[in-house]
Chains A and B, each alone.
Chain A
């Protein structure tokens, strides 16, 4: 055996697969445990703390007071339902817009145009979220471009719940297009030809072959659009008018009210909803084909 080679770090790594694995995984595991699960753990734990009403200091004792408030007061139930409704509406709009767009990108456009279309879908992600939200504020403003397009001031939706849904659907659309596009890209053209060969017109092929095969990618995309909408608090502040969603209630409790434990308790609601949503998606079998 050559001593010079034996002393080489790279070669000894190959001889000791355990060390190699450890070197490879230490950083990501640390990140996952400390930064990711750690933060989530602190959130869960602090949700059971309270704030002293006089001093404003945090009382680190187990208490169900926050959850009792959330479950007991009408306003929190309304806001939760409203947030889920917004997330669901955004997801539905994204699916309806993304399916034909992705189909065009993957199956209809010329081979030369396809990469450019993917880039075009990705481009909005390069611009700042805030800038895009404010651009929509201008668009939706009273007497703004959308109003004039619809025939005068007050004709458009203005700021409010509708505006929030529109802007969120615009912001998260790429996250729906990309998985659907990937799914269609993998779908062999011969399946579409086979359907036509067996006598099916385009509409029938779409309903019986394309859409059923798109369930897994749509499920993947909906996880993005649903969870991103559920957690959003900026868009609703910019174009939502007086609309309250879970996100801006959490933000208000951290900022103005300084009640971090209550904010944490509120924040567990979207986490819980997402867990239920993921379980439901998994039950449907959609994730197995991803």
Chain B
């Protein structure tokens, strides 16, 4: 089920009936999507789910097999990339190696014949925005990965596009830098008021930065919504599993635990180890200490293996002794999410 959240603002990107096939392979299989003005929109999915192809269709690097792409209410389906008011930050940054950082940033302005003085000024501003003042004379090869990433961002932003497309721009950075850039990107987006369409396979990234997230699977969008709604109310077992991790129950196990027919999902952090006599009994199979949290793997007597995540906010339990012990697991009724029983709701692990 696709939840379409309507914003009371004009739509910048509108995709309808979008399809793209490469030979016998269908990369994008019928996508309808509306992205609002100034929105930070993420396309999340595993590799091969079609999210990058959709981005390339918006940029104009690929032409769709069927369907239309409209930018700002204007049909651009058949227009070349240089005729579209969008800019792209590439996964490999695609900086021009023979040009200096300054020349790279000025490239788009120079192509559009912006006067030299204004070009200089705007490039300087853009570089300041990504905190690279004074780096203009360097060659891209003399910069670190994180710095190159920012140059790529400045080179796109300097053109003040209607929409900025970002293709896994943080993928090549190490964890610390990535988290820092997530915060910066979000700030830059809010500042510039530009629509960001952000492709990623990293669910944390998508949840952290986005106004809305579209989850892709097999060339289709399986759910669209705010990070909270996608996480708290996944529309399918695939979404429940891909966005965060999830315990999925079905069949006999579900009947025993919930006294209801169907497939259900419960997030690991919403399950607690408790003393309540009514809670579900099981045996601890594994205890994994992970710094801020501890993960318990519990085999329920009802027949499912369940992951429980507990904050290490108090002095941790005597962990080693817990393995093999009998425990009881409890949860709140509202945290049990019913999932549509379909082809991908069969696994209960």
In the assembled complex, B82 has its CB within 8 A of some CB on chain A? yes
In the docked arrangement, what's the CA distance between A208 and B59, Å? 21
In the complex, the chain B residue whose C-beta lies closest to that of A216 is B98
> Which of these, A194, A200, A204, contacts B88 with CB under 8 Å?
A194
Interface secondary structure of A, over-half rule: helix
Distance between Cα atoms of A200 and B111 in the complex (Å): 6
A198 and B107: CB pair below 8 A?
A: yes
CB within 8 Å for A204 and B111 given contacts A193-B90, A193-B94: yes
A residues in contact (CB < 8 Å) with B: 188, 190-191, 193-201, 204, 208-209, 212-213
Q: Chain B, 85-106, contact with A by CB distance < 8 Å: what is the 0/1 string?
A: 0111011101111100000000
Minimum C-beta distance from A240 to chain B (A): 40
- Asked if B200 is at the interface (CB within 8 A of a chain A CB), the reply is no
* Chain B residues in the interface with A (C-beta under 8 A): 59-61, 80-82, 86-88, 90-92, 94-98, 107-108, 111-112, 155-156, 159
Contact B82 A199 (CB under 8 A): yes
New A-B pairs, 9, CB < 8 Å, besides A193-B88, A197-B87, A199-B82? A188-B92, A193-B59, A193-B90, A194-B95, A196-B82, A197-B156, A198-B159, A199-B108, A213-B97
Contacting residues, chain A, for B96 (C-beta < 8 A): 191, 194-195, 209
Closest residue on chain B to residue A196 by CB atoms: B81
Q: List 10 A-B contacts (CB under 8 A).
A: A188-B92, A193-B88, A194-B96, A196-B81, A197-B81, A199-B108, A199-B111, A199-B159, A200-B107, A213-B97
Secondary structure class of chain B's binding surface, majority of residues? loop
> Which residues of chain B are within 8 angstroms of A194 by Cβ–Cβ distance?
88, 90, 94-96
Q: How far apart are B29's CB and chain A's nearest CB, in angstroms?
A: 24
Complexed CA–CA distance, A31 and B108 (Å): 53
B residues in contact with A193, CB < 8 Å: 59, 61, 81, 88, 90, 94
Please name all residues of chain A whose beta carbon is closer than 8 Å to the beta carbon of B80 when the two chains form the complex. 196
Q: How far is the CB of B52 from chain A (nearest CB, A)?
A: 12
With a cutoff of 8 Å between Cβ atoms, the chain B residues found around residue A204 in the complex are 111
- Tell me the complex Cα distance, A84–B213, Å: 65
Q: How far is the CB of A125 from chain B (nearest CB, A)?
A: 31
Please, which residues of chain A bring their CB within 8 A of the CB of B156? 197
Per a CB cutoff under 8 Å, which of B61, B94, B107, B112 touches A188?
B94
B111 neighbours in A (Cβ, 8 Å): 198-200, 204
Of chain A, the residue at the smallest CB distance from B61 is: A193
Contact A195 B88 (CB under 8 A): no
Nearest Cβ on chain A to B257's Cβ, whole angstroms: 50
Minimum Cβ distance to chain A for residue B108 (Å): 4
- Chain B residue with the shortest CB-CB distance to A212: B98
Contact A198 B108 (CB under 8 A): yes
Residues on B with C-beta less than 8 A from A212 are 98
A197 to B80, CA, bound (A): 9
Q: How far is the CA of A195 from the CA of B107 in the complex (A)?
A: 8
Contact B90 A199 (CB under 8 A): no
Contacts A190-B92, A204-B111; is A213 near B98 (CB within 8 Å)?
yes
A213 contacts across to B, CB distance below 8 A: 97-98
Taking CB as reference atom, which chain A residue is nearest B110? A208
- For B83, give the chain A residue with the smallest CB separation: A199
The complex places the Cα of A200 from the Cα of B81 at a distance, in Å, of 9
Please list the 3 inter-chain residue pairs (A to B) with the smallest Cβ-Cβ separation, ordered nearest first.
A198-B108, A190-B94, A194-B94
* Among A193, A196, A197, A204: residue with most chain B CB under 10 A: A197
Contacts of A198 in B (CB 8 A): 82, 87, 107-108, 111, 155, 159
How near does chain A come to B181, taking the closest CB pair, in angstroms? Answer: 20
Report the bound CA distance from A285 to B159 in whole Å: 32
CB distance from A184 to the nearest CB of B (A): 14
A111 to chain B, nearest CB (A): 12
Please state if A190 and B90 are interface contacts (CB–CB under 8 Å): yes
Q: For the complex, what is the distance from the CA of A33 to the CA of B9, rounded to whole Å?
A: 78
* Min C-beta distance of A283 to chain B, whole Å: 17
Task: Report the minimal beta-carbon distance from B325 to chain A, rounded to whole angstroms.
Answer: 52
